[in-house]
Structure 1
Amino acid sequence: MSERERRTARVDTPQEVRRQLIRRPSGMSSETFGVLSEKFARFMGTPRFLIWMTIFVTVWLAWNTFAPQSAQFDPRALNYTLLTLILSLQASYAAPLILLAQNRQDDRDRVGLEQDRVQAERALADTEYLTREVAALRIALRDAATRDFIRGELRDLLEEMETKGLEVRRRENDAAADEVDEAPEGPSPRW
């Protein structure tokens, strides 16, 4: 016998065989059952359910208290045993169904929180990336000329050109004035 066969043939080693005690109906998936349990849990939490349950219990108690002894099916003398049994049975089914609905809601909340966390991480990464890009642009723009700087330089150039233009005109006017002073005073020859 090989080592592997000896290990699998041991009596004290549990075998991994799962058997279902109750077979699930062929048309009922766990998702369908979960949806039905959520609908049931939602219905049990409505005022409509409470009103109908109150009416049911009130009619039951009134019938079995005030009806003739022969018509009572759950007499007061036996402390409404059947009503107690029915309410206990309803509670014994309601509690697990409500817990199942809560577990499904917890699972949905967990998935939603996980998606929110992933989205928040993405948003944080995008924000950090954009912050780095803006910082890099600021650093790059320190060396670049801004609009105000260019306007100021153009104003300075205009003023400089105007002052040079005035100087040139002044020189031209002075030169013209010197020519007028040097010209003979007699009539100018005509050709």
Structure 2
Amino acid sequence: MVTTFDPVRFHEPHIHLDSAFGGDTFGRRAEAFARFFGTPKFLIGQTLLVIAWIAVNAAAAAFAWDPYPFILLNLAFSTQAAYAAPLILLAQTRQADRDKAHTDADARHREELSQRSLEQAAKTQQLLESNTQLTEQTRKLAEHVDRLTREIHGQIVRA
């Protein structure tokens, strides 16, 4: 009987990681948003937006909706940071909770492996003791057969 080994059988769904905002959708989106902030695509896009913003507002005075020192641009960055920081912290907290859940599952897995190892060692010890007893019984029976053989041989020779 071969049983398949499932290395993640202790890993439970992350139901306990549901957001306090009701459901997991908010948390998943916050994580996706936080991941997007760290991509080169976002950094390049934001850099191009800032360059275009400054170029339009510095070069064309007639179209300048945010003249130097670019207060509106600064306000946009502040607003972005005000929303990004809590979402990034939420994503980090959720990741820490997932890491803890995986660590707990790994600990339970190691404990089960340890328990199985101890059980296997106990079974092996029991089998060794049984083998030793059977070997001793076999030796005694062999000696008894040898003694009976000599007795019968002696009776046949005398007769």
Q: CA RMSD in A?
A: 2.3
Query: Which structure would you say has the larger Rg?
Result: 1
**Distance apart, 1:135 and its partner CA:** 1.3
Identity, % of aligned positions: 38
**Distance apart, 1:90 and its partner CA:** 0.3
2:80 is the alignment partner of 1:70:
no
Aligned partner of 1:38 among 31, 43, 48: 31
The total of aligned residue pairs comes to 122
**Distance apart, 1:70 and its partner CA:** 2.1
Question: What residue in structure 1 maps to residue 12 of structure 2?
Answer: none
2:92 is the alignment partner of 1:92:
no
Aligned partner of 2:40 among 34, 40, 47: 47
Question: What residue in structure 1 maps to residue 14 of structure 2?
Answer: none
Question: What residue in structure 2 maps to residue 179 of structure 1?
Answer: none
AA in 2 matched with 1:70: A
- Structure 2's unaligned 5+ residue stretches are 1-20, 147-152, 154-159
TM-score (norm 1): 0.58
| Displaced runs of 4 or more, over 3 A | none
**Distance apart, 1:145 and its partner CA:** 3.5
- Structure 1's unaligned 5+ residue stretches are 1-27, 158-163, 165-191
Question: What residue in structure 2 maps to residue 181 of structure 1?
Answer: none
TM-score (norm 2): 0.69
More relative contact order, 1 or 2 (CA 8 Å, 6+ apart): 2
2:134 is the alignment partner of 1:144:
yes
1:9-28 to 2 correspondences below 5 Å: none
* Cα deviations by residue, 1:59-114 (Å, 9 ceiling, x for unpaired): 111111111x22101111xx111111100110111010000011111111111111
Higher helix share: 2
Question: What residue in structure 1 maps to residue 53 of structure 2?
Answer: 60
**Distance apart, 1:129 and its partner CA:** 0.7
